[in-house]
Amino acid sequence: MSQRVLRVGMIGGGGGAFIAQPHQKAIHFDGTRRVVCAALHPDPAVAMREAENWPYPIQGYKNYDEMIADQAKKPLGDRVDYVLIVTPNHVHFDPAHKCIQAGFPVFCEKPLTVTLEEADKLVAAVKAKKVPFGVAHTYLGHWTSRFSRHIVRSGLLGDVRWVDSYYLQGWLATRFEDTGNMQAVWRVDPKQAGASGCGGDIGTHALMQLRYVTGLEVKRLMAHLEIYAPGRKLDDHFTVYCQLSNGSKALVRASQIAIGHKNDLGIEVNGTKGSLVWQQEFPEQVTIKLPGQPDRVYFRGAVSANDGFLKDLPADLMAEPTIPSGHPEAFHDAFARLHRCFEQDVRAYNDKKPFACDGAKYANVDDGRMGIAFIQAAVESSNKGGVWVEM
Ligand SMILES: NC(=O)c1ccc[n+]([C@@H]2O[C@H](COP(=O)([O-])OP(=O)(O)OC[C@H]3O[C@@H](n4cnc5c(N)ncnc54)[C@H](O)[C@@H]3O)[C@@H](O)[C@H]2O)c1
């Protein structure tokens, strides 16, 4: 008989929310997971009303405390198998911690928390309760990110010398928050967003892409957090010069005032033998540049082993479910891949078997914590005028 469909509970997602939508599409992508219940809104009445009007049947809860307590009473098979947290940053720690304590695996949005103290507590709770925990660094879910990771980490480009990892947007170039836009309002509020606006929101994605693709860690950094929109309290432009664990250097930069840039996340890695270029707005391709040769452009779905450059392509990467080359995969597919890989760990957890949750296929709680440590160090450096700060 086929396996049962995993049950997912969602925290956040009502009232015109953004990222809950790609997530819930990705959850239903394979038919092996479905959203069964949710606490959709901080106002209990709105939460219940929105659950009733949800496009498919779900059980609504007035708040996440009620949802966690009620689900925890149910036996495996009737209760949620994992909880998705898609609330603003300041509402990550509390529900995540309560879910872990109740033994529920958690897939949480980034940045993990608003303080390093909270992040440390989540790491400790995950280790103590031994539950799968994923952090929604979307762009790791692209097949081409995993492919880039193999190319760089296997040494095909030689030693890494320099990395430029960036995420550029222009939507907050003016005080868009004054229009009441729901997504803008909390992102510019230190109480809801954390100590860094642009850095926490999208700089953490650029950092994660760097760490995931290269396997290198930031050892020390010097940062400039800048505010261009008048009167804003948090940075809308974030520039961090980093020294990496192999002695090489990197720029991790993010901007919300780069007019014309939409979701321009990308990475360029310069090694001693060649370079790699990847951009999430063109996520189907990876470009390799080798000295004295025409560029090699690899397309997802059309990569063959042993082509004179590639070697030892990981079997699990080649076996990853994907569609034929030329039918484009994009944002929703990346989210679906993260949930699909997380599902494997949740099923193993349910069966009391070992599970990976090692950061190879989606970001884990340690990765989430690293993002917060990076933000804390960047804020400290910037406040001191851009001095070097150890991570
Ligand atoms: N991975 C990505 O690519 C990506 C992209 C966008 C946003 N995000 C992250 O996702 C999170 C949400 O961002 P968004 O843009 O979707 O925000 P949003 O404002 O669109 O949605 C937030 C949702 O949380 C709900 N909410 C707030 N407090 C709640 C509470 N106490 N209980 C229940 N629900 C509550 C709101 O009602 C709303 O439904 C943020 O942490 C953000 O950084 C990640």
Task: Find the 40 Cα to ligand 1 centroid distance in Å.
Answer: 10
Model confidence at 58, pLDDT cuts 50, 70, 90, reads very high
Whether the model pTM is above 0.95: yes
DSSP string, 206-244: HHHHHHHHH---EEEEEEEEE--STT-SS-SEEEEEEEE
Convert the pLDDT of each residue in 249-262 to its tens digit: 999 999 999 999 99
Mean pLDDT along residues 3-10: 98
Mean pLDDT along residues 124-140: 98
CA dist 383 and 389 (Å) reads 11
Give the neighbor-by-neighbor strand order of the sheet with 106-108: 59-60, 33-39, 6-11, 82-85, 106-108, 133-135, 363-364
Q: Which atom of ligand 1 is nearest to the CA of 17?
A: 20
The single-letter DSSP state of residue 164 is E
Q: Where are the domains of the chain?
A: 6-139+336-371, 140-326+375-383
Q: Which atom of ligand 1 is nearest to the CA of 183?
A: 19
The answer to whether 375 touches 204, Cβ cutoff 8 Å, is yes
CATH classification code of 6-139+336-371: 3.40.50.720
Tell me the residue type at 383.
N
CA dist 382 and 293 (Å) reads 41
Domain at 140-326+375-383, CATH homologous superfamily: Dihydrodipicolinate Reductase; domain 2 (3.30.360.10)
* Pocket mutation for ligand 1, best pick of 66, 87, 172 (most atoms within 8 Å of C-beta): 87
Convert the pLDDT of each residue in 323-361 to its tens digit: 999 999 999 999 999 999 999 999 999 999 999 999 999
CA dist 349 and 356 (Å) reads 10
Residue 162 sits at φ, ψ, to 5 deg, of: -155, 140
CB-defined site of ligand 1, < 6 Å = 11-15, 17-20, 39-42, 64, 86-89, 91, 109-110, 136, 138, 182-183, 186, 201
Per CATH, 6-139+336-371 and 140-326+375-383 having the same topology is answered: no
Mean pLDDT along residues 114-120: 98
Model confidence at 1, pLDDT cuts 50, 70, 90, reads low
